Amino acid sequence: MASLEQIKLLINLARIDGDVAEKERQFIINIGQANHMLVAEILPLFSGDHTVVIPSDLTVDEKFDYILHLVQLMKIDEKIYNEEIKFCAKVASNLGFSHEVMFEMMLNVKSATMGDNELESLKRLASRYLKKN
């Protein structure tokens, strides 16, 4: 489930290149709405910078959703910047993944909707990169 922190992370990523494209804005709004957030709660978030906060109590599935949505957002405008990759790699590391997970995600994540089988396969692949405590 998307949390306020996840929406803020997505907004930070969308703003890295200096401009939030309409596709990016709509993607973020759709994720928020799918998780019971109101558009009126989401829109004001686009006007500010946000501290990167990664909740410490995320499940493995929630961690996967975080990086999946980050990579989908990064790919949605068909322009990928080094700063975006670095940001996503840092978030992935903070989520407990080795930074190599970003290579696999970039190769396998589609910006469009992915089927359940594709997502499960990708989740298994990503779980190999979770650091052991």
Q: Is residue 72 part of a domain?
A: yes
Predicted pLDDT of residue 17: 82
- Position 108 pLDDT exceeds 70: yes
The enclosing domain of 38 has a CATH number of: 1.10.3680
Predicted pLDDT of residue 1: 44
Q: Is residue 60 part of a domain?
A: yes
Q: Is residue 10 part of a domain?
A: yes
Q: Is residue 133 part of a domain?
A: no
User: What percentage of the chain carries pLDDT values higher than 90?
Assistant: 61
- Position 3 pLDDT exceeds 90: no
99, with CB counted inside 10 A (0-12, 13-18, 19+), is middle
DSSP 3-state of 130: strand
- Position 104 pLDDT exceeds 60: yes
Predicted pLDDT of residue 2: 55
| Confidence class for position 99, pLDDT limits 50, 70, 90 | confident
Q: Whole-number mean pLDDT of the chain?
A: 89
Give residues with Cβ within 8 angstroms of 10, minimum separation 6.
27, 28, 31, 69, 70, 73
- Position 30 pLDDT exceeds 60: yes
Q: Is residue 25 part of a domain?
A: yes
Q: Which residues are paired to 130 by β-bridges?
A: 97
Q: Is residue 132 part of a domain?
A: no
Give residues with Cβ within 8 angstroms of 94, minimum separation 6.
52, 54
Predicted pLDDT of residue 133: 60
Domain that holds residue 16: 4-127
Query: Distance between CA atoms of 49 and 101, rounded to whole angstroms?
Result: 26
Cα angle for residues 86, 91, 96 (degrees, 5° grid) = 125
Domain count, the chain: 1
Task: Identify the helix (H) or strand (E) that includes residue 14.
Answer: helix 4-15
Predicted pLDDT of residue 97: 95
